[in-house]
């Protein structure tokens, strides 16, 4: 990832945008990363609505199964030495 100072990014915005189409671009201010410029495609992929845990569980083949038995492991905890 290429790093740009804020002043350089402002002065060379067209080049920055072209570079962001290929890989994310880091923007720094006073030596610290403050922003990342990325392509629209990458942004859409990262911000796409994710499926909820409830929806994921409802798609499970065990969703409406009545014969599923879940038992807790009752064994003693193990000793850990420090």
Sheet of strand 25-29: strand arrangement:
2-5, 25-29, 32-37
In 1-82, DSSP assigns E strands to 2-5, 25-29, 32-37
- In whole angstroms, what is the distance from residue 1 CA to residue 42 CA? 14
Q: In this predicted model, what pLDDT tens digit does every residue of 31-61 receive, in sequence order?
A: 999 999 999 999 999 988 788 889 888 898 8
User: pTM to 2 decimals?
Assistant: 0.60
Higher pLDDT, 49 or 71: 71
Give the number of C-alpha atoms closer than 13 A to the C-alpha of residue 36, restricted to the C-beta side: 8
pLDDT at 34: 98
Q: In this predicted model, what pLDDT tens digit does every residue of 11-36 receive, in sequence order?
A: 999 999 999 999 999 999 999 999 99
The full set of domain ranges for the chain reads 2-58
> In this structure, what token pair is assigned to residue 28?
């720094």
CATH class of segment(s) 2-58: alpha beta
- In whole angstroms, what is the distance from residue 75 CA to residue 21 CA? 55
């Amino acid at each position: 990832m290429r790093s740009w100072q804020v002043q350089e990014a402002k002065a060379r915005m067209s080049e920055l945008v072209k570079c962001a189409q290929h890989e994310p671009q880091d923007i720094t201010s006073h030596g610290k990363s403050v922003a990342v410029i990325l392509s629209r495609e990458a942004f859409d992929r990262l911000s796409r609505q994710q499926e909820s845990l409830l929806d994921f569980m409802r798609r499970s083949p065990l969703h409406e199964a009545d014969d599923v038995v879940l038992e807790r492991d009752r064994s003693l905890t193990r000793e850990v030495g420090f």
